[in-house]
């Protein structure tokens, strides 16, 4: 029997998997790019009551197509409120936001995110855009989901710079730093699989691989030791309905590609 060829891309796969983590009648604060697409997909499928919040103040919009930034006018389309960054971050601090949805340039085994600088601070290989609202989201939201591409430069033992705190250096570190209890990174989703964090050690743990991806693939794209449980699941591929919706959300292929 001939091997079946996947009809979806790795980006479609990770976006669909991420969207399924979001729950109906919950709230999510999203960052630019893939997090927006995943949240909009969830709102158009299993979570119609999902409250999407944008950093610049759009609360509860019904975004027609992918905005180019969190301050794009489309983030206010049919919104419940055209508010402000102050109100959005205050809602996070007050505990009213259930999920944080972020991208990342680099992540380490404790879920710390770097979007500031690659290499040494004084003589960097590259300088990146920085935090924006990512630090607030990662510091204050109960469950932060990170979407990113995975390779050895991005999955590391310790990040060069902590832009957004994960579990810092291990169990209890967030609390010692004064961050709210019961908050922190929840899932990391890449083109290879889905990761969580071990309850005791707070280290990155493999939960599931995408179809066709092997443990060898995962290890070949990681420059750190990832915990692997005795049973590793396999994610479901995106449905044709999900794929159609994804390209309605991003018709120009700005993030999904053509």
DSSP conformation letters of 44-55: TTT-TT-EEEET
Tokens (6 digits) for 9: 């891309």
**Which among 244, 202, 191 is positioned nearest to 18, based on CA atoms?**
191
* Residues 89, 84: Cα–Cα separation, whole Å: 9
Is position 55 annotated as part of the catalytic site? yes
CB 147 within 8 A of CB 187: no
Which one is catalytic: 23, 55, 122, 231? 55
Residue position matching structure tokens 């309850």: 199
Question: Among positive and negative, which fits the CA dihedral 3, 7, 10, 15?
Answer: negative
Tokens (6 digits) for 37: 């697409």
A 10 A CB-CB count for 181 gives: 8
Distances, alpha carbon 244 to alpha carbons 185, 213, 240, in Å: 30, 24, 6
Active site residues: 55
């Amino acid at each position: 029997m001939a091997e079946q060829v996947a009809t979806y891309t790795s980006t479609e796969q990770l976006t669909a998997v991420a969207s399924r983590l979001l729950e109906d009648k919950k709230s999510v604060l999203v960052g630019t790019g893939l997090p927006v697409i995943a949240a909009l997909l969830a709102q158009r499928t299993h979570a119609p009551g999902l409250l999407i919040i944008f950093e610049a103040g759009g609360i509860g919009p019904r975004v027609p197509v992918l905005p180019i930034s969190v301050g794009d006018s489309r983030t206010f389309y049919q919104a419940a409120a055209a508010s402000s960054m102050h109100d959005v971050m205050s809602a996070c601090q007050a505990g009213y936001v259930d999920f944080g949805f972020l991208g990342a340039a680099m992540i380490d085994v404790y879920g710390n995110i770097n979007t500031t600088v690659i290499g040494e601070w004084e003589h960097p290989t590259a300088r990146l855009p920085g935090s924006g609202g990512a630090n607030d989201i990662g510091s204050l939201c109960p469950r932060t989901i990170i979407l990113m591409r995975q390779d050895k430069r991005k999955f590391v033992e310790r990040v060069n710079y902590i832009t957004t705190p994960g579990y810092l250096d291990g169990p209890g570190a967030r609390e010692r730093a004064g961050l709210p209890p019961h908050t922190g990174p929840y899932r990391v989703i890449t083109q290879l699989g889905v990761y969580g964090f071990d309850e005791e050690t707070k280290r990155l743990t493999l939960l599931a691989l995408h179809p066709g991806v092997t443990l060898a693939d995962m290890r070949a794209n990681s420059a750190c030791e990832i915990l692997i449980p005795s049973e590793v699941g396999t994610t479901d591929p995106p449905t044709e309905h999900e794929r159609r919706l994804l390209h309605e959300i991003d018709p120009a292929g700005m993030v999904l590609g053509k």
